[in-house]
Amino acid sequence: MKSIAKLFLFISLSINCIYCYASEQVNDDRNQCTPITITANAPYTEDFSSYSGTSASSTSGVMPDCWDALFLGTPSYIGYAPHVFYGSSQCPHGSSNNCLLMYAGSTDYGPSSYAIFPKYTNDMTTLELKFSVAMSTNFSSPKLTLGYVTDATNSNSFVALRTFSNNLVSENGVANYDIRLNTYSFPAGARLCFRWTASWESCYIDDVVVRLIPSCIAPDNLAYSNLTSGGVLLEWTPAGSESAWEIDYGTVGHAAGSGSSAAAYGHPYSLGGLVPGNSYDVYVRADCGGGNESEWSGPVSFRVPCAPATVTATAPYTEDFAAYGGTSASSTSGVMPDCWDMLFFGTLNHLGYAPHVFYGGSYAPNGNNNNCLLMYAGSTDYGPSSYAILPQFTNDLATLEIDFSVAMSTNFSSPRLSLGYLSDMTDANTFVAIQTFPNNLVSENGVADYQIRLDGGTYPAGARLCFRWTASWESCY
Q: How many beta carbons lie within 10 A of that of residue 159, not counting itself?
A: 15
Task: Supply the pLDDT for residue 312.
Answer: 96
CA neighbours closer than 13 Å in the CB half-sphere of residue 444: 8
How far, in Å, CA of 14 to CA of 27, rounded? 13
How far, in Å, CA of 57 to CA of 34, rounded? 30
Average pLDDT, integer, range 159-163: 96
Task: Supply the pLDDT for residue 441.
Answer: 72
How far does CA 442 lie from the centroid of its chain? 37
pLDDT at 453 exceeding the cut of 90: yes
Task: Supply the pLDDT for residue 140.
Answer: 64
Average pLDDT, integer, range 66-72: 94
Q: 105: Cβ–Cβ under 8 A, 6 or more apart, which residues?
A: 73, 80, 111, 198, 199, 200, 201
Average pLDDT, integer, range 101-117: 90
Task: Supply the pLDDT for residue 105.
Answer: 84
Task: Supply the pLDDT for residue 123.
Answer: 96
Residue 30 pLDDT level (bands cut at 50, 70, 90)? very low
Nearest by Cα to 437 from 471, 461, 464, 463: 471
The CA-to-CA distance between both ends of the chain, in Å, stands at 71
How far, in Å, CA of 83 to CA of 396, rounded? 62
Average pLDDT, integer, range 26-32: 47
How far, in Å, CA of 182 to CA of 122, rounded? 12
Task: Supply the pLDDT for residue 443.
Answer: 66
Nearest by Cα to 406 from 308, 476, 343, 471: 476
Task: Supply the pLDDT for residue 419.
Answer: 96
What confidence tens digit (pLDDT) does each residue in 238-284 have?
Answer: 988 899 999 999 999 999 999 999 999 999 999 999 998 888 999 99
Q: Which residue has the higher pLDDT, 467 or 166?
A: 467
- 256 and 298 Cβ atoms separated by less than 8 Å: yes
What confidence tens digit (pLDDT) does each residue in 292-305 have?
Answer: 999 999 999 998 98
Tell if the pTM clears 0.75, that is, is over it. Answer: no
In angstroms, the Cα distances linking 158 to 78, 318, 373 are 21, 64, 55
Q: Which residue has the higher pLDDT, 459 or 328?
A: 459
Nearest by Cα to 115 from 14, 193, 30: 193
Q: Which has the minimum average pLDDT: 1-15, 150-164, 337-351?
A: 1-15
pLDDT at 77 exceeding the cut of 80: yes
Task: Supply the pLDDT for residue 382.
Answer: 80
Average pLDDT, integer, range 455-474: 90
What confidence tens digit (pLDDT) does each residue in 370-417 have?
Answer: 899 999 888 777 888 999 999 999 999 999 999 999 988 776 666 689
Average pLDDT, integer, range 419-445: 86
Task: Supply the pLDDT for residue 16.
Answer: 33
pLDDT at 367 exceeding the cut of 60: yes
Task: Supply the pLDDT for residue 170.
Answer: 60
pLDDT at 182 exceeding the cut of 60: yes
Task: Supply the pLDDT for residue 423.
Answer: 92
- Range with the largest mean pLDDT of 226-230, 307-311, 352-356, 412-416: 307-311
Q: Which has the minimum average pLDDT: 86-90, 91-95, 277-281, 421-425?
A: 86-90
Mean pLDDT of the chain: 86
Average pLDDT, integer, range 54-78: 90
